[in-house]
Amino acid sequence: MNWKKPRKISILFLICEGENQSMTITKNDALLVVDVQQSFCPGTNGSLAVEDGDGCVKSINAVMPLFDWVIASRDAHPDNHCSFVENGGQWPKHCVKGTDGWDFHPRLDLTSVCAQTFKGTSEHQDAYSAFRGTLPLTHILWALGVQRVFVVGIATDVCVAATAADAMEDGFEAIVIGDATCGVTKESTAASLKTMSKQGIKVINVADLF
DSSP 8-state assignment for residue 73: E
Encode 5-29 in three state secondary structure. HHHHHHHHHHHHHHHCCCCCCCCCE
DSSP 8-state assignment for residue 102: G
Q: Is there a catalytic annotation at residue 179? A: no
Sequence-distant (6+) residues with CB within 8 A of 47 are 39, 92, 93, 94, 101
Nearer to Zn ion, 29 or 75 (CB): 75
Q: What angle do CA 138, 140, 143 make, to 5 degrees?
A: 110
Q: Which stretch binds Zn ion (CB under 5 A): 72-80, 140-148, 177-185, 198-206?
A: 72-80
Nearer to Zn ion, 75 or 166 (CB): 75
Q: Is there a catalytic annotation at residue 27? A: no
Task: For the CB of residue 187, give the shortest distance to Zn ion in the complex, in Å.
Answer: 22
Q: Is there a catalytic annotation at residue 119? A: yes
- The reply on whether position 157 binds Zn ion by CB under 5 A is no
Decide if 47 contacts 103 (C-beta within 8 A).
no
Q: Which of 54, 159, 166, 202 is catalytic?
A: 159
Position among 29, 54, 75, 179 found at the interface with Zn ion (CB under 5 A): 75
Q: Which of 119, 126, 182, 202 is catalytic?
A: 119
**Axis-axis angle for helices 186-198, 161-169 (nearest 10):** 10
Q: How far apart are CA 107 and CA 59, in angstroms?
A: 11
Q: Which stretch binds Zn ion (CB under 5 A): 32-40, 74-82, 144-152, 168-176?
A: 74-82
Positions annotated as catalytic residues are 35, 119, 159
Interface residues with Zn ion (CB under 5 A) are 75
